[in-house]
């Protein structure tokens, strides 16, 4: 078994044999032209027009996002600057094929040097050139292999024309050596809900017929998997397929226990998508993301408008807004202390707000105004709170300024250790597993070299969550989870077993978590949690929870 890593797109899983995209056409010879220039010019023009027409027709047949992408490629084939360059090269003695190849190549290099979004469009130019050259040679254009048997398509990179009309019963997943999360392969894979793993540097080693698992959720391609890995992947695939096609319902367990599924948002613009994906409200609105580029503190009015726009999208629903969480990975010029040796351990979150209380007061005032003009059920919470005294400070201040429901995030282990005291003074607690894991494991969440420690499955983290859940149950206070852990379908079950009463996540993860919760009763979730708590490592907790250890 060999594991190749890349960037996963979506959460799908597929198992099947590899089929590679055919190699590109041989490079046209640089030998001088022997035919008249006029003939070569006409041939080039005709082939460009034919490819343009074909791309447009294929786009119209595909519709949606694919059409946009194919229309953009058709425009490349019709670009007058490219035609002028091709003509110039033919007039200087090149064959039509060579002139097309060189002209497109020089544009491609130019685009690539620009990097970013434009750089990722470079693959599209190459694809158009290949099609024009194939047309000039009167040979079929390179494309997705024909097959009656389902397969996993492996390529250096895929062009829109390849992916637009993919037969989704035959092509199970896409694996590419090149490309990033914004490449066309990724965009179209997302639009078509086909599992994809892009930027897999070891993809060149894959051969036709190799059995692989492409796991987009894990960003992994497993070559020659053993039967256990195949069985586990088949289970994940079944779950993913069910989730993708299941009706959007409110979150609940198999026995009917409700587990509200909420969205993590950073801007009111993201609200509509979250609602479409079935978010029952907002579990974490990261207000600091609105003001990352501001030099001065936002005014009450600026904030009121943003918060009201958010609340309006969720009439009658719970919306949990977090007070500005400045510092460490999210510095705010107007709130973050200038120079600190260890910013993650410094004056951040509630500590920074307390040091400049007027900023916190303004934010709470703006939130109270927004609440008064909308129908949503606003709740406000503070980040980076250390104990019950800090929690009480925040809750009292929020109430003084007109906030009806106020709580705190559990991100610092000290707060979890005194969870019983905290539950006495707040209306709710929301567990931020990203920071809770970082601080419990003493591993900077931004640092690749210690990334393996940043695993919320670690039993030390789970035991803190258990404590928070128990304190919530004892006092009747809700305990939500809003860190990335809630987006992991298997861990979501364990979190509910540990006492989480709601789960909040990036909206794209809602469907998978919704489907996973429906597979267990509360009693089963608790059994899984109890098993995971006895583990000695994150990996062991995973297998104990799954019952595979
Ligand atoms: C967390 O720490 O888990 C959390 C949700 O907050 P953020 O990721 O914004 O720090
Ligand atoms: Mg946090």
The pLDDT of 313-332, averaged and rounded, is: 93
Q: Report which of residues 162 and 368 the model is more confident about.
A: 368
- Which tokens in the block code for residue 337? 């202390």
Q: How far apart are CA 50 and CA 34, in angstroms?
A: 24
pLDDT score, position 182: 59
CA 359–ligand 2 middle distance (angstroms): 19
Report how far residue 68's alpha carbon sits from residue 248's, in angstroms, rounded to the nearest whole number.
Answer: 28
- For ligand 1, say whether the CB of 284 is within 6 Å of any of its atoms: yes
Task: Tell which one of 327, 343, 435 to mutate to probe ligand 1, the residue whose CB is within 8 A of the most ligand atoms.
Answer: 435
Q: How confident is the model at residue 161 (pLDDT cuts 50, 70, 90)?
A: low
482 lines ligand 1 (CB under 6 A): yes
Find the 227 Cα to ligand 2 centroid distance in Å: 39
**Cα of 152 from ligand 1 centre, angstroms:** 36
C-alpha span between 509 and 403 (Å, rounded)? 30
Give the pLDDT of residue 190: 67
H-state helical runs in 426-537:
433-440, 459-475, 489-497, 510-517, 522-533
Residue 317 has pLDDT above 70, yes or no: yes
Would you say residue 117 has pLDDT above 70?
no
Q: Is 458 a catalytic residue?
A: no
Q: Which tokens go with 407?
A: 């709580």
Does the Cβ of 483 fall within 6 Å of ligand 1?
yes
Residue 191 scores a pLDDT above 80: no
Each residue of 38-84: pLDDT tens digit? Answer: 999 999 999 999 999 999 998 898 787 778 888 888 999 999 999 99
Ligand 1 binding pocket includes 327 (Cβ within 6 Å): no
Q: Whose CA is nearest to atom 6 of ligand 1?
A: 432
Q: Which ligand is nearest to the CA of 486?
A: 1
Mutate to test the pocket of ligand 1, among 434, 464, 479, 491 (most ligand atoms within 8 A of CB): 434
- Residue 495: which of 536, 436, 450, 448 has the closest Cα? 436
Q: What's the pLDDT tens digit per position in 475-519?
A: 999 999 998 899 888 899 999 999 999 999 988 788 889 988 999
Residue 133 pLDDT class (50, 70, 90 cuts): very high
- Residue nearest to ligand 1 atom 9, measured at CA: 286
Average pLDDT over residues 352-356: 96
Dihedral sign for Cα atoms in the order 201, 204, 208, 210: negative
Structure confidence at residue 181 (pLDDT): 62
Question: Is residue 137 over pLDDT 90?
Answer: yes
CA distances from 101 to 91, 118, 134, 481 (A): 15, 20, 11, 55
Ranking 157-171, 235-249, 413-427, 445-459 by mean pLDDT, the lowest is 157-171
> And the tokens for 362?
């303004």
How many CA atoms lie within 13 Å of 204's alpha carbon, on the beta-carbon side?
3
pLDDT of 216-248, one tens digit each?
Answer: 988 899 999 999 999 999 998 988 887 777 788
Alpha-carbon dihedral angle through residues 245, 247, 249, 251, given to the nearest 10 degrees: -20
Distances (CA, A) of 398 to 277, 289, 353, 547: 31, 21, 13, 44
Q: What is the per-residue pLDDT for 68? A: 84
**What is the biggest distance separating any 2 CA atoms in the chain, rounded to whole angstroms?**
90
% the chain with pLDDT above 70: 96
Checking if the pLDDT of 291 tops 70, the result is yes
Q: Is 286 in the pocket of ligand 1 (CB under 6 A)?
A: yes
């Amino acid at each position: 078994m060999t594991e190749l890593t890349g960037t996963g797109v979506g959460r799908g899983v597929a198992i099947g044999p590899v089929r590679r995209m055919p190699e590109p056409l041989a490079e046209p010879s640089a030998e001088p032209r022997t035919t008249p220039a006029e003939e070569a010019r006409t041939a080039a023009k005709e082939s460009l027009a034919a490819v343009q027409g074909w791309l447009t027709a294929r786009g119209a047949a595909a519709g949606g996002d694919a059409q946009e992408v194919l229309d953009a490629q058709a425009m490349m084939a019709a670009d007058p600057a490219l035609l002028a360059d091709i003509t110039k090269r033919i007039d200087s003695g090149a064959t039509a094929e060579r002139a097309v190849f060189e002209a497109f190549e020089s544009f491609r290099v130019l685009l690539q040097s620009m990097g970013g979004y434009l750089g990722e469009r470079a693959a599209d130019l190459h694809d158009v050139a290949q099609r024009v050259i194939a047309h000039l040679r009167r040979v079929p254009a390179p494309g997705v292999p024909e097959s009656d048997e389902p397969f996993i398509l492996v390529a250096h990179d895929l062009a829109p024309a390849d992916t637009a009309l993919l037969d989704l019963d035959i092509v199970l997943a896409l694996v590419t050596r090149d490309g990033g999360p914004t490449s066309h392969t990724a965009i179209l894979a997302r639009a078509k809900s086909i599992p994809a793993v892009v930027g897999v540097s070891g993809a060149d080693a894959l051969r036709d017929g190799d059995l692989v698992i492409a796991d987009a959720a894990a960003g992994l391609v497993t070559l020659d998997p053993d039967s256990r890995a195949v069985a586990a992947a088949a289970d994940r695939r079944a779950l993913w397929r069910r989730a993708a096609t299941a009706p959007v319902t409110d979150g609940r367990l198999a026995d009917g226990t409700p587990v509200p599924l909420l969205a993590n948002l950073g801007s009111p613009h993201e609200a509509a998508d979250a609602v479409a994906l079935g978010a029952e409200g907002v579990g974490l609105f990261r207000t600091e993301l609105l003001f990352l580029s501001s030099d001065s503190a936002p005014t009450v009015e600026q904030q009121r408008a943003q918060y009201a726009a958010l609340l309006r999208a969720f009439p009658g629903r719970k919306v949990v807004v977090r007070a500005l969480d400045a510092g460490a990975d999210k510095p705010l010029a107007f709130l973050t202390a200038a120079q600190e040796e260890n910013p993650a351990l410094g004056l951040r979150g509630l500590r920074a707000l307390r040091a400049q209380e007027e900023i916190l007061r303004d934010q709470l005032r703006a939130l109270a105004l927004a609440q008064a003009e909308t129908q949503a059920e606003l709740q406000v919470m503070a980040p980076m709170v250390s104990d019950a005294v800090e929690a009480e400070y925040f809750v009292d201040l929020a109430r003084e300024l007109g906030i009806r429901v106020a709580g705190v995030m559990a991100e610092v282990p000290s707060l979890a250790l005194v969870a019983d005291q905290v539950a006495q003074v707040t209306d709710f607690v929301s567990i931020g597993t990203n920071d809770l894991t970082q601080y419990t494991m003493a591993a900077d969440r931004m640092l690749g070299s210690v990334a393996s420690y940043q695993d919320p499955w670690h039993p030390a983290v789970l035991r803190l969550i258990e404590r928070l859940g128990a304190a919530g149950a004892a006092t009747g206070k809700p305990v939500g989870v809003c860190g990335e852990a809630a987006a992991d379908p298997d861990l979501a079950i364990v979190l509910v077993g540990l006492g989480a009463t709601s789960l909040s996540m990036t909206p794209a993860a809602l469907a998978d978590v919704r489907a996973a919760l429906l597979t267990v009763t509360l009693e089963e979730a608790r059994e899984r949690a109890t098993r995971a708590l006895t583990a000695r490592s994150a990996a062991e907790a995973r297998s104990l929870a799954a019952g595979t250890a």
